[in-house]
Chains A and B, each alone.
Chain A
């Protein structure tokens, strides 16, 4: 779908448009995100489950063929519950999925996927710790998290959840992200 350029861009018009945009986003956010069990987070939880289907971890990250995939989340309640509902009873490549609420930054070590919610305090400490641990698929929601080097960053666009992939970070972490997932990402950053 091609986007047509807008015809006129007087500063006043852009200003008004920006103000409306902010109002809608904030308003929308206020309406939409009533908490980490809101629709937005339900969709993100479903994405986390789907990411495990499109990312390959090195064999060394699993003890044996039956070891579960561990998703660690550092988020306000009840996100972990939402995520557990999503993954309950499902398997990926024969492995079940286990959800953990991360109590400390270092707990990311035991996970395969670490998701740090935007509204978490000590956010950057968690992200910083997680991105140093390999091979973990780090997922964040904020620009700051992206700057710190998370592999996947969620965004919202036109009322839908989108994601960007930092391919260089994925490579550093030793993870293989499937071409299909890269195709669906809004952006794939290759520079480190």
Chain B
């Protein structure tokens, strides 16, 4: 169903139906084992279109997985099955087993997630998309994970690309791209209801109904609700960070002809953290038109509107309105060239209001525009053996003007079962509203006595002259499938960063009564490099049992004039991470999934080893019971360094039970 995304080996079969999601989902990530991963249940086969059926293989790896195997990028995919069997209650937690990703809980409702380093709550080098809609906030270029609660039962997959995806996705995809793709309405027909709860995840419930209007229009409507209890503070008392969230929406897919597809979806999410101290909501709507042209070319046009509002007693009140248009044209020129190019425009309007004097809002209203264009071509130098992809993205933003991000990738297949790939890319992280505008003045640290004897409060302020962070990334990877049941994937990288933005030195002392302001502007004070790699081994000793082992290494070295922050940055992500997952089917009705994870220490949190276990039982095709234990090895453990203005708590051991009921 999904068509290969530009940034890698492209699918040969023009028969494949149009890619549903712009610029995102067409990567596929079956890094995992073909034998267990690709085997859809018979019922699922009937969901495939006839063109997709023609690509299903009888004995070996399916075409989707094969294309993934040939991709010149470090990519992993969590399929719907992986998500279900992980027992994760949110997409943020589901990402924990992806190699190369750092996922750390700050408290019950906030996460710090990044790829290949630089992890904190405001991790800004990762681009996250849901169905083609960017969900990062231009305020601090990070993601509010509490508002990302898509219904996991209806997610088709989550694709994670480590390394710059900047050519196709743009600035901020510096260290990686996470793209979540939901299933088409055609694939979510019928009614699904789920409910459950436990001691930490106290309640989770949701329902979806999918139907059809006429022969060519499919729809689904859905709603879900969840509630989480307090996490414990290091001392053991509850951290008062409990939260609840609701989510609802719909999707309509209409085929107005054999070659035309229209999609319209809208959803709303609300989140109330810390018992009301932080409230947020998001409403968004997206429309997409995909037209397959003669000769194998395709055009896609997408538009979305997104409003995110957040009220945080410790920070500010903010409302951000994003309107985004994008266009993409896949040109099938000849069998040896696959060209894709596109244009994009985004407008972000923001209104901020001050709540606390510690986070002063200086200029809270802004309108920002972003223009972008990209082009990428995949050259087949030797069919099935040597492919080269070259692309460039041009962007113009209000803070730093024009930015150019080129990338070149090559894939070489010495044999059918091996792929060797390499990539060189330049990527850029443009400054966010916090850094480049006179938006906020944030108190940082304790007041000190200045040279004139007066008291000054260190305050972080925006800096109009700040430049974009830059990255030159060099990547190398190797995949081999020596046997039908074994596959190995290795990816290594060397990232050379310059102009990293952090808070430097005091620039201005503004006397005041009783306390003056010591202005510290965000500046390009750091540079450095990270290197490391990820290795994944997937083995299927029996058709019903799959084992996946991951190991990730990350070494960071930074230089710059901001000593204190440099060390924090260097040690903001663990050096070693490893995980072992086992998925075992007991007959047709039961299954056991287990996960063991080790995460190395960071500056403020010790290393931890944790395990999750999921038991599932399906008495019939329509019903599934599951019992999930999470973080079983410890009563609780700390995962992330303390962050200004955030509650910090430890992740506790928890158990929950869940029932999923499907009926037509």
Q: Which residues of A contact B55 (CB under 8 A)?
A: 160
Q: Which residues of B contact A181 (CB under 8 A)?
A: 50
Q: Does A88 make an interface contact (CB < 8 A)? A: yes
- The residue that A86 contacts in the complex, of B12, B13, B43, B335, with Cβ under 8 A, is B43
- The residue that A49 contacts in the complex, of B46, B51, B57, B190, with Cβ under 8 A, is B46
In the complex, what distance in Å separates the CA atom of A171 from the CA atom of B212? 32
- The residue that A47 contacts in the complex, of B12, B42, B53, B60, with Cβ under 8 A, is B53
Q: Does B386 make an interface contact (CB < 8 A)? A: no
Are B54 and A162 touching (Cβ within 8 A)?
yes
Are A160 and B54 touching (Cβ within 8 A)?
yes
- The residue that A82 contacts in the complex, of B42, B190, B335, with Cβ under 8 A, is B42
Q: Which residues of A contact B507 (CB under 8 A)?
A: none
Q: In the complex, how many residues of chain A place their beta carbon closer than 8 angstroms to a beta carbon of chain B? A: 33
Report the minimal beta-carbon distance from B97 to chain A, rounded to whole angstroms.
Answer: 27
Q: Does A39 make an interface contact (CB < 8 A)? A: yes
Are A86 and B51 touching (Cβ within 8 A)?
no
Q: Which residues of B contact A160 (CB under 8 A)?
A: 54-58
Q: Does A20 make an interface contact (CB < 8 A)? A: no
Q: Does A50 make an interface contact (CB < 8 A)? A: yes
Query: Which B40-85 residues have a C-beta within 8 angstroms of A?
Result: 41-43, 45-46, 48-51, 53-60
In the complex, what distance in Å separates the CA atom of A32 from the CA atom of B12? 25
In the complex, what distance in Å separates the CA atom of A53 from the CA atom of B42? 18
Q: Does A77 make an interface contact (CB < 8 A)? A: no
Q: Does B483 make an interface contact (CB < 8 A)? A: no
Query: Which A34-67 residues have a C-beta within 8 angstroms of B?
Result: 38-40, 42-43, 45-47, 49-50, 53-54
Q: Which residues of B contact A54 (CB under 8 A)?
A: 50
In the complex, what distance in Å separates the CA atom of A31 from the CA atom of B39? 15
The residue in B41, B50, B60 that gathers the most chain A C-beta atoms within 10 A of its C-beta is B50
In the complex, what distance in Å separates the CA atom of A90 from the CA atom of B567? 60
- The residue that B48 contacts in the complex, of A2, A46, A87, A184, with Cβ under 8 A, is A46
Q: Does B604 make an interface contact (CB < 8 A)? A: no
In the complex, what distance in Å separates the CA atom of A82 from the CA atom of B46? 11
Q: Which residues of B contact A15 (CB under 8 A)?
A: none
Are B190 and A1 touching (Cβ within 8 A)?
no
Are A90 and B46 touching (Cβ within 8 A)?
yes
Q: Which residues of B contact A47 (CB under 8 A)?
A: 50, 53
Q: Does A191 make an interface contact (CB < 8 A)? A: no
Are B42 and A42 touching (Cβ within 8 A)?
yes
Query: Which B238-263 residues have a C-beta within 8 angstroms of A?
Result: 258
- The residue that A87 contacts in the complex, of B15, B46, B50, B335, with Cβ under 8 A, is B46
Are A161 and B56 touching (Cβ within 8 A)?
yes
Q: Does A119 make an interface contact (CB < 8 A)? A: no
Q: List 26 A-B contacts (CB under 8 A).
A: A1-B12, A1-B13, A31-B59, A39-B56, A39-B58, A42-B45, A45-B42, A46-B42, A46-B45, A46-B46, A46-B48, A50-B49, A50-B50, A85-B41, A85-B42, A86-B43, A86-B45, A87-B46, A89-B190, A90-B46, A160-B55, A160-B57, A161-B54, A161-B58, A162-B54, A184-B54
Additional A-B contacts beyond A45-B42, A160-B58, A161-B56 (14; CB < 8 A) = A1-B12, A28-B59, A32-B59, A39-B56, A43-B56, A47-B50, A47-B53, A82-B42, A85-B42, A86-B42, A88-B43, A159-B59, A160-B54, A180-B50
Residues of B at the A interface (CB closer than 8 Å) are 12-13, 15, 39, 41-43, 45-46, 48-51, 53-60, 190, 215, 258, 335, 621, 664
**What 8 pairs across the A-B complex have the smallest Cβ distances?**
A46-B45, A32-B59, A89-B664, A86-B46, A40-B58, A50-B50, A85-B42, A159-B57
